């Protein structure tokens, strides 16, 4: 949840993220579908918080979290709730942007959310800096990239954006597999996209890619620690049929 790329290409939307954290004993469960008040959400579950940093909803929405807001913050020993649980509270809605504006975020660690709304094909950025909420509508037809301000300074953030631009411009065809390769191998040496364990205590634990088209949403998950890889998702038409039948 420290690097996110957004890339529209032809009839697809690609959202890909690196989860850069300190490894902990609680681990992460591979993505599974769980039922919520507004439908079903597919997401990898963090063992410590019970929440997540990325998910796809059966209503077609997709959302991902980045650590921090605009500037590095001093992390408290504890918060009222894990921000990964807050993620699910916001995402369990027909419109996560409206839910973000309503929800109480006092005593919650700063974070950034990027959400794709299928109903109107819009892209939004939502930030909580520990004091205020900030919501921006972004051009959904343009690629974008976010890097956590808790790990990277502005110079490094811009350098990583440059790598992303260079990689895109070098590709004859954009694929999800290619983007996930970039997230693991892009960059230069120990400054590459995938944080190398030799750099310190924080490094890339997993890479997750979402591919959204008109009729389906798919999540590719690669645990870089265990090597586990999974593919899951759904056809929107099939899911709508289940809802109509009350399943």
Q: Measure the CA–CA gap between 231 and 107, rounded to whole angstroms.
A: 35
pLDDT at 193: 72
Mean pLDDT per block of 10 residues along the chain (247 residues) reads 92 94 74 96 92 96 97 92 97 97 98 96 97 98 95 90 94 96 81 58 86 95 92 80 52
The model's pTM is 0.92
Q: What is the helix (H) or strand (E) element at residue 87, kind and residue range?
A: helix 83-91
Alpha carbon distances (Å) from 156 to 47, 116, 187, 192? 30, 26, 11, 11
pLDDT at 191: 64
- The structural domain count of the chain equals 1
What is the per-residue pLDDT across 197-206, written as a single tens digit (0 to 9) for each? 445 566 788 9
What residues contact 51, with CB distance under 8 A and at least 6 apart? 45, 82, 83, 84, 85, 86, 87, 88
The CATH number linked to 187 is 3.60.60.10
What is the per-residue pLDDT across 209-227, written as a single tens digit (0 to 9) for each? 999 999 999 999 999 888 9
Nearest to 94 by CA among 136, 60, 71: 60
Neighbours of 159 (CB within 10 A): 15
Range of the domain at 24: 3-244
pLDDT at 197: 46
């Amino acid at each position: 949840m420290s690097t996110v790329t957004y890339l529209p290409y032809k009839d697809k939307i690609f959202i890909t993220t690196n989860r850069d954290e300190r490894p902990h004993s609680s681990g992460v469960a591979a993505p599974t579908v769980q039922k919520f008040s507004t439908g079903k959400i597919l997401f990898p579950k963090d063992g410590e918080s019970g929440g997540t940093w990325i998910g796809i909803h059966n209503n077609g929405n997709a959302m991902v979290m980045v650590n921090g807001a605009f500037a590095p913050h001093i992390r408290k020993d504890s918060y009222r709730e894990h921000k990964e649980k807050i993620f699910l509270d916001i995402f369990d809605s027909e419109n996560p942007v409206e839910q973000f504006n309503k929800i109480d975020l006092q005593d919650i660690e700063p974070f950034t959310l990027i959400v794709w709304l299928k109903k109107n094909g819009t892209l939004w950025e939502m930030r909580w800096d520990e004091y205020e909420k900030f919501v921006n509508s972004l051009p959904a037809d343009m690629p974008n990239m976010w890097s956590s301000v808790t790990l990277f300074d502005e110079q490094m953030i811009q350098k990583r954006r440059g790598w992303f631009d260079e990689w895109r411009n070098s590709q004859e065809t954009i694929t999800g597999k290619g983007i996930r390769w970039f997230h693991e191998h892009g960059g230069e040496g120990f400054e590459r996209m995938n944080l190398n364990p030799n750099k310190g205590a924080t490094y890339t634990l997993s890479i997750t890619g979402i591919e959204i088209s008109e009729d389906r949403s798919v999540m590719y998950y690669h645990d870089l620690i265990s090597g586990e890889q999974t593919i899951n998702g759904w056809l929107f038409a099939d899911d709508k049929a289940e809802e109509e039948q009350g399943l």
